[in-house]
């Protein structure tokens, strides 16, 4: 029994894509700008805060909902900005490392914003804050569904 290396199992000849093939591939696999996701998070936060105020007539609940949405949107905006930096364009390894670093920054900042909530929002409503946070976080899934839908429409 002989042992084969992983390199022997792979196709030895890798052919790079032509410019036209790369453009066709990118058209078939559209992406959503992270800025659209951040904008959607802010918009859903504002809408949810307005709706919660209409429903409860409580300023503190509305501010809590908005604060929860901003606890997701502000770190996401920083993350999106960080991914567009010079370091991510150097090479693929730096881009992957940058992704993980900015994701960690996003998580730590989100936690810091949530920990500061009782001191910053007068009459904080934790359920309201969580509703705003969850709605804003769901915008990531909405963006994925949007991309999937646009791919289906182009394929039809």
pLDDT, tens digit (0-9, with 9 covering 90-100), for 28-85: 766 778 888 999 999 999 999 999 999 999 999 999 999 999 999 999 999 999 888 7
Tell whether 24 is covered by a domain.
no
pLDDT of residue 2: 53
Q: What percent of the chain has pLDDT over 70?
A: 81
Answer whether residue 9 is part of any domain: no
Please indicate, yes or no, if residue 69 is contained in any of the structural domains: yes
Evaluate whether 117 touches 129 at the Cβ level (below 8 Å). yes
Tell whether 23 is covered by a domain. Answer: no
Residue 54 lies in a domain: yes
Whether 22 is in a domain gets the answer: no
Q: What is the average pLDDT across 107-112? A: 97
Three-state DSSP at 151 gives helix
Handedness of CA 103, 96, 81, 149 (dihedral sign): negative
- Is the pLDDT reported for residue 14 higher than 70? yes
In a domain, 78, yes or no: yes
Model confidence at 22, in pLDDT bands (50, 70, 90)? Answer: confident
User: Does a structural domain hold residue 115?
Assistant: yes
pLDDT band at 144 (very low <50, low <70, confident <90, very high): confident
Domain count for the chain, please give it: 1
CB 49 within 8 A of CB 65: yes
Of 94 and 56, more confident? 56
> What local confidence, expressed as pLDDT, does residue 132 receive?
97
What is the predicted pLDDT for the residue at 33? Answer: 80
For residue 93, what are the domain limits?
A: 34-155
């Amino acid at each position: 029994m002989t042992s084969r290396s992983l390199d022997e199992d792979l196709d030895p000849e890798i052919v790079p894509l032509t410019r036209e093939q790369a453009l066709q591939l990118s058209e078939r696999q559209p992406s959503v700008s992270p800025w659209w996701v951040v904008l959607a998070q802010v918009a859903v936060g504002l809408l949810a805060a307005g709706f919660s105020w209409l429903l409860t007539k409580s300023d503190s609940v509305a501010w809590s909902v908005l604060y929860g949405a901003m606890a997701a949107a502000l770190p996401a905006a920083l993350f999106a900005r960080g991914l567009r930096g010079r370091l991510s364009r150097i090479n693929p390894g730096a881009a992957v490392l940058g992704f993980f670093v900015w994701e960690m920054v996003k998580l730590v900042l989100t936690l810091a914003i949530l920990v500061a909530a009782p001191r910053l929002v007068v009459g904080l409503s934790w359920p309201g804050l969580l509703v705003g946070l969850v709605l804003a976080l769901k915008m990531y899934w909405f963006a994925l569904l949007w991309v999937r839908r646009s791919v289906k429409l182009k394929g039809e």
